[in-house]
Amino acid sequence: MARYAQVHGSVALITLTNPPVNALSAAVRHGITETVTRALRDPEVKSVVICGENGVFCGGADIREFAKPMGGPPLVPMIAAIEEGDKPVVAAIEGVALGGGLELALGCHYRIAHTKALVGLPEVTLGLLPAAGGTQRLPRLIGIAPALDLITTGRHVAAQQALKLGIVDQVTDQSTVDVAIQFAKQVVGQPLLPRKLSTQPTPCPPDVDILLEEAMTQVKRRARGAIAPVACVMAVRAAATLPYRAGMQKEQELMATLFRSSQAHALQYCFFAQRAVGRWKLSSGAHSGNSKPRPVSKAAVIGLGTMGRGITVALVKAGIAVVAVETSDKQLQMGKQIVSEMLKREAQKRNETPRLDLIRFTTSMLELKDSDLVIEAVFEDMPLKKQVFKELSSVCKADAFLCTNTSGLDVDELAAVTKTPELVVGMHFFAPAHVMKLLEVVCGSRSSPEAVATAMYLGKRLGKVSVAVGNCPGFVGNRMLRPYLEEANFLLEEGATPELVDGALEEFGFAMGVFRMSDLSGLDVGWRIRKESGLTGPDVDPSDPPRRRQGQRYSPLPDLVCEQGRLGQKNGRGWYLYDKPGGRVATPDPKIHQLLEEYRLKHGIRPRRVDRQEVVERCLFALINEGFRILDDGIAAGPEDIDMIYVFGYGWPRHRGGPMFYAGMVGLPKVLERLEHYWQAHPDVPHLEPSALLRRLVDSGSPPIDTWRDFLQRPHSQL
Ligand code: NAI
């Protein structure tokens, strides 16, 4: 796990050997301890180089070991022994030095990095902090402010920037190990003490207290209830205010608390879940391991509205040529202008030239004949989409994949109008499509494994987290959103205000509460859908009482808001009042309060006090309950799929792991008991009736989430 060699007579070369990223497993730590001791003892050895096999220095701790009792030599004394030795040790950083890998490098006296290497302390993203001296050595090396930035965000830093910050001493585009060996020979005999970071004071500006206080305020605001970033600031504060030893003690104490926290478990669960969802499986037995994607070099996007523009930008950013189709010249020119601006902005961020040359804008479908894959993003209207798919089927080449970005319409119905239903699949992006990380790949009943594999792989190329889901109204994400939105409306009827509901959800960790989110998306979107499905407008059954539709409780409140011309952020008025049309500063609006009061009076509802706990339980447990139904129906393959959809597409706080993980953390019996309680109080709300799967799980003793698949009625049936 650590190879030892003596080169040029006097340099000991220690190579970490634990593919793929040379993670610091117990065996690797053991190997390092042994080889370092050997090098320090050998009188022939004058200096040491530590590097990693296969062009990777070290990716950090082995996360799989977190769940087990600690074995092998701990990192802190191992790194201390390297630093305390009397021979210069040089880290030769290729590939990555992340987490424990960078901490190991910080314990070395010098660091040489390859130009393409990345360094960073990403522990915070797993709900932890760098607890092998990272929070104490990095501030001593580069100062408080940059250390705070790196440790509280966990971001990776490229070699050149690491050089500027002072994290590495030299950057090379030659063989890093050779350069490090030469370097190690040259520094023999030079004073080592100034290179031992633990012996150095932390450089502090005179206003360090203010700096730390401001950092804490900023981090708390950004963290949305996550505790690890806050602990990181506390640890860096210790580096600024305490001697090294006491700082290390503080680092260990904070780590002990984080390590046991449910947030760390949730974030580590997300880490593995994100990787697991890429390994999809269909009911036919086809899976990611035996189904090959077909290459896509030419794509097409139909419709350059909100979604089509973002999808085009995402494709171009991945270097894929796009034919972009609109209905009229006017629409085309507008789309072209907006796409160009978006691409320019994106290119500016990355210091690149915008690849406008990759796009062909046209109003003619005939230009699609050599496209490998088409993504339809026209209005959410089934007859229109069917007409588009019919046309695609006749103009595209016979083996072109035909994808739809519908947010919930029946993919099979679209496939049925084409000559190649096996090549039809849903690619459900989220707005803004070039930014949001989620892609739901909707598998129709006739979608071929190759079509699914291609859509999944294309998502990956676009930098998305692709999740395969089954075909049902709303698929996974939007199907679960419906009860969430409805509960929020019901709570308004019963006595809450938009700001109370949003406050509770934002306190839970959502970036935006449900009403602010609806204002942002535009209230007319849902209004149109409700009109089309006969829930409001002229098609409502006249025999329905005012707050019931199609046999269930219904709240017409959102319709009333739209009828008053309040369409959300875009026209400056929605559930809130905005500073200007399109503005982002939301303030509670007395007119909405008045509307709510009049509404309750009109319908004879006596308002009652709704507390934050009820908001969280009713909105989130209703959503979770639908998640259990989705699992049982075989629409999602497992709870991880649902959780990743919510974390990457709906702003669910990652430190709470996703809705299904959260249900497990709360305790399934408690979720069941609260749902039963609310269902009894609201028997006309079917989505509050506890799902059969939830009941089965509770009856089976609430097993851990990784076994829930064994309890599904029809696993993968719709995939
Ligand atoms: P939009 O209304 O912004 O844009 C639709 C565009 O399609 C318009 O520019 C229109 O001119 C064009 N179009 C209509 N018929 C066409 C045809 N026959 N050929 C070429 N272009 C045509 O709509 P938006 O929001 O972009 O939605 C598009 C699709 O994406 C819908 O199915 C929607 O449900 C789905 N979606 C929307 C999301 C959103 O947040 N807006 C999120 C995820 C999916």
Q: Is residue 562 predicted with pLDDT exceeding 90?
A: yes
411 in contact with ligand 1, CB cutoff 6 A: no
Q: What is the mean pLDDT of residues 295-303?
A: 97
Q: Provide mean pLDDT across the span 142-148.
A: 97
Helix (H), strand (E) at residue 467: strand 465-470
Dist. CA 87–CA 199, nearest whole Å: 16
pLDDT exceeds 80 at position 69 = no
Ligand 1 and 378: CB distance under 6 A: yes
Amino acid at 145: A
HSE toward the beta carbon, residue 449, CA cutoff 13 A: 14
- pLDDT per position as a tens digit, 425-455: 999 999 999 999 999 999 999 999 999 999 9
Q: Is 331 close to ligand 1, i.e. is its CB under 6 Å away?
A: yes
387 CB near ligand 1 (under 6 Å): no
Atom of ligand 1 nearest to the CA of 408: 34
Q: What is the pLDDT of residue 9?
A: 87
612-711 classified as CATH 1.10.1040.10: yes
Q: What are phi and psi of 289, to 5 degrees?
A: -75, -25
Whole-number Å distance, alpha carbon 401 to ligand 1 midpoint, is: 19
- Tell me whether domains 2-259 and 298-473 share a fold: no
At 72, is the pLDDT very low, low, confident or very high (cuts 50, 70, 90)?
confident
Average pLDDT over residues 686-690: 97
Q: Of the listed 83, 103, 486, 506, which one is catalytic?
A: 103
pLDDT-derived band at 156, boundaries 50, 70, 90: very high
DSSP secondary structure letters along 42-102: -TT--EEEEEEGGG--B--B-GGGGGSPP-S--HHHHHHHHHHSSS-EEEEE-SEEETHHH
Calculate how far, in angstroms, residue 652's C-alpha sits from the geometric centre of ligand 1: 25
Binned at pLDDT 50, 70 and 90, residue 460 comes out as very high
Tens of pLDDT, residues 491-520: 999 999 999 999 999 999 999 999 999 999
What whole-number percentage of the chain has pLDDT above 70?
100
CATH assignment, 2-259: 3.90.226.10
Output the CA 305–ligand 1 centroid distance in Å: 5
**What's the CA gap between 273 and 261, in Å, rounded?**
18
State whether the beta carbon of 408 lies less than 6 angstroms from ligand 1: no
Give residue 548's pLDDT. Answer: 93
- Among the residue ranges 37-41, 66-70, 210-214, 644-648, the one predicted with the least confidence is 66-70
Residue 388 Cβ contacting ligand 1 at under 6 Å: yes
Q: Is the pLDDT of residue 715 over 80?
A: no
Q: Is the CB of 431 under 6 A from ligand 1?
A: yes
Q: What is the arithmetic mean of pLDDT over 617-625?
A: 98
Rounded-to-integer distance, Cα 420 and Cα 447, Å? 9
Ligand 1 centroid, distance to 309 Cα (angstroms):
9
Ligand 1 centre from 320 Cα, in Å? 21
CB-ligand 1 contact for 436 (6 Å cutoff): no
The pLDDT value recorded for residue 718 is: 79
For 688, the 3-state DSSP assignment is helix
Give the model's pLDDT for residue 68: 77
Residue whose pair of structure tokens reads 């969280």 in the numeric block: 616
Of 313, 329, 378, the residue with max ligand 1 atoms within 8 A of its CB, to mutate for a pocket test, comes to 378
Contact 429, 406 (CB under 8 A): no
For 560-577, b/e burial (b = at least 16 CB within 10 A) is: ebbeeebbbbbbbbbbbb
Residue 365 near ligand 1, beta carbon < 6 Å: no
Record: fold of 496-501+511-602 = N-(1-d-carboxylethyl)-l-norvaline Dehydrogenase; domain 2 (1.10.1040)
Rounded Cα distance, 574 and 529, in Å: 17
Confidence label for 529 from pLDDT (cuts 50, 70 and 90)? confident
Choosing from 322, 362, 366, 379 the residue with most ligand 1 atoms within 8 A of its CB, the one to mutate for a pocket test is 379
Alpha-carbon separation of residue 54 from 15, 20, 59, 90, 471 (angstroms): 10, 8, 12, 18, 43
Answer yes or no: are the C-beta atoms of 57 and 101 closer than 8 Å: yes
The question of whether 253 is a catalytic residue gets the answer: no
- Confirm or reject: Cβ of 307 under 6 Å from ligand 1: yes
Predicted confidence (pLDDT) per residue in 82-135, tens digit: 999 999 999 999 999 999 999 999 999 999 999 999 999 999 999 999 999 999
The average confidence (pLDDT) of the chain is: 96
Rounded-to-10 torsion of CA 144, 145, 148, 149: -150
Compute the average pLDDT of residues 304-321.
Answer: 96
Q: Is residue 306's pLDDT more than 80? A: yes
Q: Where are the domains of the chain?
A: 2-259, 298-473, 496-501+511-602, 612-711
- How many A from CA of 304 to the centre of ligand 1? 7
Q: How confident is the model at residue 65 (pLDDT cuts 50, 70, 90)?
A: confident
Compute the residue count for the chain: 719
Give the pLDDT confidence of 180-232 residue by residue, as tens digits. Answer: 999 999 999 999 999 999 999 999 999 999 999 999 999 999 999 999 999 99
Residue 146 CB less than 6 A away from ligand 1: no
Q: Is 326 in the pocket of ligand 1 (CB under 6 A)?
A: yes
DSSP 408: S
The reply to whether CATH 2.102.10.10 applies to domain 298-473 is no
Rounded-to-integer distance, Cα 74 and Cα 30, Å: 9
The catalytic residue among 94, 123, 440, 499 is 123
Among 371, 407, 478, 519, the mutation site with the greatest number of ligand 1 atoms within 8 A of its Cβ is 407
CA 348 / ligand 1 centre spacing (Å): 27
CA of 153 to the centre of ligand 1 (A): 35
% of the chain exceeding 90 in pLDDT: 92
103 is catalytic: yes
The stretches of 108-243 forming alpha helices (DSSP H) are 134-142, 144-153, 159-165, 176-186, 208-223, 228-241
ipTM value > 0.90: yes
How far is the C-alpha of 696 from the C-alpha of 66, rounded, in Å? 30
Distance CA 149, CA 154 (A): 8
Closest ligand 1 atom number to CA of residue 387: 18
323 C-alpha to center of ligand 1: Å? Answer: 16
